[in-house]
Structures are given as C-alpha cells and as structure tokens.
Structure 1
Amino acid sequence: MARHVFRCPLRWADMDAYGHVNNVAFLRYLEEARIDFMFRLAPGEGDASFTGGSVVARHEIDYLRPLVHRHEPVVIETWVTDISVASMTVRYEVKDEDVLYAKASTVVVPYNLAQQRPRRISAEEREFLEKYRDDEGVVAA
C-alpha cells in the first residue's frame, strides 16, 4: 500500500542543549506530517471530512537515534494500520534514506467541533484511509 511522504524542515529552535532535536519537537513534526496527510489529501469539506475536526487520543514514540539539526528536511512517512468505527491509528517513520530516527503512532478520533463530541468515520474517509492502510508495514525497533 501507499505511504504519504512529508519532508519536514528542522528549525534552529528545535534543538536541545546537546545539539539534538528535542523530543517534544518530534511531536510537532508528526503533527505537521499528519495534518498534511489528513487535511491536504483527505476528500470533502466540513464535517464530511477530517477538516471538520479530529482529536488525538494517544501518541507513542520510540526514539531510535539522535537527530542533529541541519538544513535538509527529515522525511516522515505516514500510513494507517488500524481503522475502527470511530478512530484510526496513524503510524510514522522519521528518517533519512538510510537512518531511522524514530517510529511512532497516533490514535486519531474524528470529532464534531460544533457538537463537541466524537463522531464516526465516514465512508468517504474510510475509502481514503484504506489507500494508505499497511498492517504489514510496521517496522520493528
């Protein structure tokens, strides 16, 4: 199956005192990749698509190697491993061509902002997500 590829720029402010990208910055990188994946590529408008709202229910990150600040962007591959009635699990790899810096997952829940409550994944959203589903693509540490 397909993976969404996002090239994320590194910022000077992302570094910690040791010259590595701070662990919190990784969450921002994952957010940027996820938003690019879900909002730019997802179909529809309003409550009929992810642009109508979603919330993060869980993050999990395994830091594998330090990422040092540089001018070149880091690649974040994004795909989906689980799709339920009202949530999905998005997986990520933060990497260069030959180095894996982190792997992560996020449980995302579609959310109706007007009603302030979770909602079900629409048929249109499910069709979109299925194109990026890869249960076999989970990389071990």
Structure 2
Amino acid sequence: MHSYIYPCPLRWADADANGHVNNALFLRFMEEARTRMFREVLADDEAGRRRNAFVVSRASVEYRAPLHYREDPVDVHVRVAHRRAVSFELAYEIRDANQLYAEGTIAIAAYNLDTGRPRRLTDTELAFLDRYTES
C-alpha cells in the first residue's frame, strides 16, 4: 500500500491576519488531492461520469498544528482506510517533512446521478482503490 501525495499550493488569500491558513480550507485541500487522485479512474465522457459518480457522505478533520502561509506547498497524503461494495473511506494527512498539520477522513459513496441512487463500485474502481488500501 502506498499513499497518493498531492503537493497542494497555498494561496495568499488562504491566510488570516495572523498568517494562519483558515481551518475550513483544509477540506478544500483534501478535495483537491482527491480529485487529482481519481482522474485516472473517472470516465472521459459526461454520461459516464454521471453514471459512475462519487458523493461525499461524511467528512471530519482533526487539526494538529497551525499552518502558516508560505510559498512552498503542503503535502496532502491520501490512502484508502476502508472499502466496501458501494462505499469507501479515505484517510488524509496534511503535512510536510517536519510537521503534521491535520488528519482527516472522508466517506464516499459510489453513486449514479441519473438514477439518484447508490451503485456498486466497478471492478476497475476496486482495483484502483486496492492500490491505496491499508494492509
């Protein structure tokens, strides 16, 4: 098992008057990492993306240390903590080499936007998730 790592750039507007990155943005960092991680498994056409969509069903973040604005990106590590036939949970660490800033989890359900109902994960999606699943 290995993590997907996304070097997430920080933006000047992310910081408050004290130079701390706003805690609400950590969910955005997690989303950015997830969308880049899943690019290879998403359908190329709009109809396929609608039939084989994913929706977030739960998100949580535990803040470990303040993240100050800087020029260098912060790394967002993503791994699959659990998976089932229709859903999975991603575990995140927002960190650099010296500091863990936050840990989070996001539960995701496979979903068909056309029918408005959950769906089973495809074999391709399951194989993709297995590459990042904890042993």
Q: Same fold (TM over 0.5)?
A: yes
Q: What does 1:37-116 align with in structure 2 at a 5 Å threshold?
A: 37-38=37-38, 40-42=39-41, 44-45=43-44, 52-116=52-116
Q: CA deviation at 1:16?
A: 2.3
Q: Distance in 1 between matches of 2:32 and 2:42?
A: 18
Equivalent residues, number: 134
Q: What does 1:1-12 align with in structure 2 at a 5 Å threshold?
A: 1-12=1-12
Q: CA deviation at 1:123?
A: 1.3
Q: CA deviation at 1:94?
A: 0.4
- The structure-2 alpha-carbon separation of the partners of 1:48 and 1:82, relative to structure 1 and needing over 3 Å to count, comes to farther
> What TM-score, normalized by structure 1, do the two folds share?
0.87
Q: Distance in 2 between matches of 1:94 and 1:112?
A: 30
Q: Distance in 2 between matches of 1:116 and 1:57?
A: 14
Q: Distance in 2 between matches of 1:91 and 1:17?
A: 30
> What TM-score, normalized by structure 2, do the two folds share?
0.90
The two structures, once aligned, show a CA RMSD in angstroms of 2.0
Q: Distance in 2 between matches of 1:93 and 1:29?
A: 10
Structure 1 gaps, min length 5: 136-141
CA contact (8 A) 1:3 1:78 kept: yes
Identity of aligned residues (%): 38
Q: CA deviation at 1:62?
A: 0.7
Q: Distance in 2 between matches of 1:115 and 1:43?
A: 18
